[in-house]
Amino acid sequence: MAEILGIGLSHYPGPLVPEEYWGSMLQRNVDVGRIPAAVYADKSRWPVEMVREWGNDNGTTAAHAHKARLMAGYKKLRAEIDAFKPDVVVIWGDDQYENFKQECVPAFCVYVMDKYPSRPFVPQALPFKTTQNVWGVPSDHEFGLRGHKEAGRALACELLNGGFDIAYAYAVRAPAGLAHSFNNTVLYLDWERRGFPYPILPFHVNCYGNQLLKTAADASGESIDERSPPAPTPQRCFEIGRATARFFMNSPWRTCLIASSSWSHASLTVKHDRLYPDIPADRARVQELREGTFKRWREIPLEQLEDAGQNEFLNWICLAGAMSETGQRAEVLDFVESHVFNSSKCFALFRAQQQRLAAE
């Protein structure tokens, strides 16, 4: 039986640009109509923690500290991946109106490709007041990411035969190639540019659901004032995670399963005027992760996740389903809160059995 390593992380785009630009995402969200200008301008309407984090330099000092913790998290996770030496890395991520647009928006989609174009620095992928990336490489620079076509095709067949009506894709069309949730995941795990030798298998989840057209399309420059159909339910995400784990446990491939997303997003938290995230809701989720009660996530009503701006948490629920199937427990490496930088980020590790025994 093949071993599985589980990982949870964030694909927040901040680390792509210098820290002095991180706070500009707030102004950009005003510009695209997400945040009311009056709410942004009136600091008396901000939580006191947000005012403190913003400081007198538009959040730059806080951004340096925030980034340091993020990079420490990615470094620890990369070390675990290198020690595990996976044959394939499955990434649950969400396409935010990048490859899937008005023609078709699948609830789930497994990619079936040998190589993926990755252009993470195109202007569309940098939601800040700059197109300058921290590496200083040209905006059209393309990384070639290895895929695992055989595993992708086999997983798609297994899920379809098992009653999961997923989509599959043999090509991408977005300017960035893969969606930024997948591009950034690999980029951050290879922060020092040593190379990422492990084949990836992107697994799209339509996390944005009823916010996709109104929120993600607005960010692309389109204006579609319409509530789109919902995301798949937490129950369905949990079950598809379980089925994915069963498949890879019985496959010939050592597999790393990654959930890629931050948790509550300010830009999705309507009750806060999309200004800051629902941090108490995130604290509840991380406590469940630490206590080992993450199986309960399948019972969370979708409406509750949407109210908390935790739409992208569906990626983590897929991972929770997988880890409930394997019986692996979570180790929370860090939980990084923020009012200013759009979301809180969690770094979690579910060690494979041999790694866990070695660590103990």
Beta bridge partners of 106: none
Which residue range forms the structural domain that includes residue 9?
4-359
Per-residue pLDDT tens digits for 198-251: 999 999 999 999 999 877 766 666 767 778 899 999 999 999 999 999 999 999
Q: Edge-to-edge, what's the strand order for the sheet holding 255-260?
A: 167-169, 108-111, 200-205, 88-93, 255-260, 4-9, 345-350, 331-336
The CA distance from 280 to 166, in Å, is 33
Per-residue pLDDT tens digits for 56-86: 999 999 999 999 999 999 999 999 999 999 9
The CA distance from 353 to 2, in Å, is 11
Number of structural domains (the chain) is 1
The CA distance from 242 to 270, in Å, is 31
- How many distinct helices (H) and strands (E) make up the chain? 12, 10
- Please give the DSSP secondary-structure letter assigned to residue 228: P
φ/ψ of residue 234, rounded to 5: -55, -40
Two structure tokens written together for 68: 């340091």
The CA distance from 268 to 251, in Å, is 38
pLDDT at 34: 87
* Inter-residue contact 342 to 279 (CB < 8 Å): no
The CA distance from 185 to 204, in Å, is 13
Per-residue pLDDT tens digits for 308-342: 999 999 999 999 999 999 999 999 999 999 999 99
What is the model's pTM? 0.96
Q: Which residues, 6 or more positions from 103, have their beta carbon under 8 angstroms from its beta carbon?
A: none
Q: Give me the CATH number covering residue 60.
A: 3.40.830.10
Q: Which amino acid is at 296?
A: R
